[in-house]
Amino acid sequence: MKIKERTSPQGIILDLEGDLTYANQAVFKAAVEKAKQAGCRHLIVNMEQVRFVDSAGLGLLVLVSQSFKRLQAQVSMLKPQSYVREIMSLANIPKMIPIYENENDALVARAA
Amino acid sequence: MKSNAMQSIGQDAGSSAQTEPPAATILLIEDERVTRTSMAARLTRLGYRVLEAENGLVGLDVARRERPDLLIVDWMMPEMDGPTFCEAVRRDPLLKSSQTLLMTAHDKPAQIAEGLARGADDFLSKSASKQEIVARVLAGLRTSRLVRKLETTGSQLESSMRLLQTKQAEMEADLQSAADFVQSILPAQGSPVQGISLAWEYQPALTLGGDLFGVASIDAEHLGLYILDASGHGVAAALRSASLMTFLRVEHMLQLIGSYDPEKVLFEANRRFPLSDEGEYFTLWVGQLHLPTRSLSYASAGHHGVLHSPAEKPSRWLTHPSSPLGFDPAAVFPGGRMTLQPTDRLFLMSDGIYEASSPTGEPWGRWRFQQAIETQKRSPLASTISHCFTEARRWQEQCDFFDDAAVVGLELTI
């Protein structure tokens, strides 16, 4: 999995490309940790290029969400693909990690 | 014929030997005493330990005993000439990698070719200059050191490999033993109570898996059932699952909450099994069947693999969004209720079966699983489950599943 980081005044966006799975968890964890170290208050995970999330990937997302919540920061998700969206929905993930269809909405939501 | 090897130890003689360690041993095999003595003296002055033999047969004895770093052997000798000696060295398991210089008075291409073909590594002319002798001896010793290092490394690798293989075999035996134990605590197939048929198939991704399920009597009128799926797979997931399985034992639940009410079971499990520091969690589906009325109450914590398959109606998933255990400490798990009819089937499965992916990465999917069930409504329960596995394997074009795959089927026979 490839991860690209983009910074904006309202938060840090991680553009993920590939599968969010047990095999790739180290890469994702490292990217999240880097964002935390940078003092990120709003982490936006762009899932547009993520084809598949396994159980480990799901747990990781929730773990990240819980850790950001403890810091009074937030995690949002951007444009998950339909299969990933279905998995997220069945696991009630949107209640913990809001899902947005465009970047601007995500950034503005946090700012508000 | 002399049978003893002669030896001379060199003093540090000259600049030519400066790149070679003085302790290197050279065996010189030459039948002409004058030539042998002269060459031995030269080599000794260069700082080498020199052993001498007057013919090939003696030379072989000395070589086997002393394992010199380099063999220099004359071509023309009685009893065993140089090329024959080289062949003998190559055939000998102890000596076959020895570096051998063949000494000859001639340097005809045909002779050189024959010598090389018969096992020599290099040639040394009897009239060679001191510089050439030094250069060829150095080259030979260099190669000899490399070869010996390779042999030692090879030996060590073989030894390590044997040890690893032994350890691996022990570990696999332990894992298999653990897997056999897990299989032994899964519910027995057949008829757990009168009126219910039970069949299942379980294929862990590795020897041990993180999926477990249970079917057990709660009391004379109630049957408890559950399927749990630990995130990840392998030994770690299996150990966590065993822990939750113990928690879900009927006796424990009755002691803890006084019933096997699915909503209450999940509430307690959610408290007891939070998301781990590594993001590990469980999905869990719990059901309770009241046998006299065939009333099924159930609740789910993120587990969506439960399919109700009536004999004469389309099957449907008993699924609604819910958080897996540990995702939300404050989660509530609303239950569902339905009445089963005789010949109805209930399938509990882990996502490993319907997430089996084709070579292009497309999951088999719950819809295809459902179709596989629908086409087998007239088949025996066990055959239906077997058919699902066959179809999933056919989809992914391989036998093993990437994730643990389990399908449990219950049928109301009366």
Instruction: Give pLDDT, residue B7.
Output: 59
Measure CB to CB from residue A62 to each of B229, B275, B351 and give the nearest one. B275
pLDDT at B108: 83
Closest residue, chain A, to B229 (C-alpha): A55
At residue B234, the pLDDT reads 79
What is the per-residue pLDDT for B215?
Answer: 96
Residue that wins the pLDDT comparison between B4 and A109: A109
| Selected residue with higher pLDDT from A9 and B374 | B374
pLDDT of A2 over the 50 cut: yes
**Are the C-beta atoms of residues A109 and A76 closer than 8 Å to each other?**
yes
Tokens representing residue B407 in the block: 């399908």
Predicted local confidence at residue B402, as pLDDT = 86
Q: A56-95 pLDDT, tens per residue?
A: 899 999 999 999 999 999 999 999 999 899 889 989 999 9
Q: Pairing between strand B405-412 and B345-349?
A: antiparallel
* Structure token pair of residue B296: 């099924």
* Mean pLDDT, 10 residues at a time, chain B of 414 residues: 49 49 85 92 91 94 94 92 94 92 84 90 86 91 92 93 94 87 89 93 85 94 95 84 94 96 97 93 96 96 94 90 92 93 95 92 92 94 97 96 93 88
For A42-50, what is the mean pLDDT?
Answer: 95
DSSP assigned state of A92: T
- Who contacts B189 (Cβ-Cβ below 8 Å, separation ≥6)? B198, B199, B200, B382
Residues of A with CB under 8 A from a CB of B: 22, 25, 51-52, 54-56, 58-60, 62-63, 66, 83, 89-93, 95-96
Q: Which of B378, B388, B379, B391 is nearest to B408 (CA)?
A: B388
pLDDT digits (tens, 9 = 90+) for A28-42: 999 999 999 999 999
Do B197 and B204 form a contact (C-beta atoms < 8 A)?
A: no
Of residues A63, A83, A90, nearest to B279 (C-beta): A63
Place of tokens 């398959």: B309
Could you tell me the domains of chain A?
2-111 (3.30.750.24)
Q: Tell me, what's the pLDDT at B136?
A: 92
CA–CA dist B60, B53 (Å, integer): 9
Above 0.90 for ipTM, yes or no? no
Q: What is the pLDDT of residue B119?
A: 93
Burial B380-395 (b: 16+ CB within 10 A, else e): ebbebbbebbebbbeb
Binary contact (B322, A92; C-beta < 8 A): yes
* Nearest Cβ partner for A56 among B231, B319, B328: B231
C-alpha angle B304/A55/B277, rounded to 5°? 125
In the prediction, which pLDDT does B13 show? 45
What is the reported pLDDT for B14? Answer: 47
Chain B contact set for A59 (CB, 8 A):
231, 275, 278-281
Helices (H) and strands (E) in chain A, counts: 4, 5
What is the identity of the amino acid at B408? V
User: CB of B46 within 8 A of CB of B130?
Assistant: no
List the strands of the sheet with A11-20, edge to edge: A2-8, A11-20, A42-53, A74-78, A99-100
Measured CA to CA, the distance from residue B230 to residue B325 in angstroms comes to: 10
